[in-house]
Amino acid sequence: MPFIELQSNLPAGQFSEAFLKRLCSSTAAALGKPEDRMNVVVTPGLPMLIAGSTSPCVILSVSAIGVTDTAEKNKEHSAKIFEFLTKELDLNQDSLWAPAWTCLRGDPS
């Protein structure tokens, strides 16, 4: 089950139920995973500073089995997700940061 965690200094009002559903759909499509297996958590209203600025920003963490195991895949996924977030939240790419693309592996046995 992919886990998407979005942290932001934007107010809670920016993240409606409709936004959560669109974020789920967009990240599922980007990762090639079914929507009904996605887990999405949004934490708004945080005191945040990115690259020396407290301007509106987002930090995104993605954990998923088999889709975040190479830099090439992560670049592809992040481009699609960043496009969604910049349009939805009216942010520029400098306001988005994805530090944690975690590769979770299943039991090898």
Contacts of 30 (CB under 8 A, 6+ apart): 77, 80, 81, 84
In a domain, 109, yes or no: no
Give pLDDT tens digits along the chain (109 positions): 899 999 999 999 999 999 999 999 999 999 999 999 999 999 999 999 888 889 898 888 888 887 777 778 778 888 888 889 989 998 876 666 665 544 433 433 3
Residue 1, pLDDT score = 86
In a domain, 98, yes or no: yes
In a domain, 93, yes or no: yes
Which amino acid, 50? I
Number of domains in the chain: 1
Please tell me the number of Cα atoms within 13 Å of 9 on its side-chain side. 13
Domain range for residue 81?
A: 3-103
In a domain, 108, yes or no: no
- CATH code of 30's domain: 3.30.429.10
Residue 107, pLDDT score = 37
> What's the whole-model pTM score?
0.83
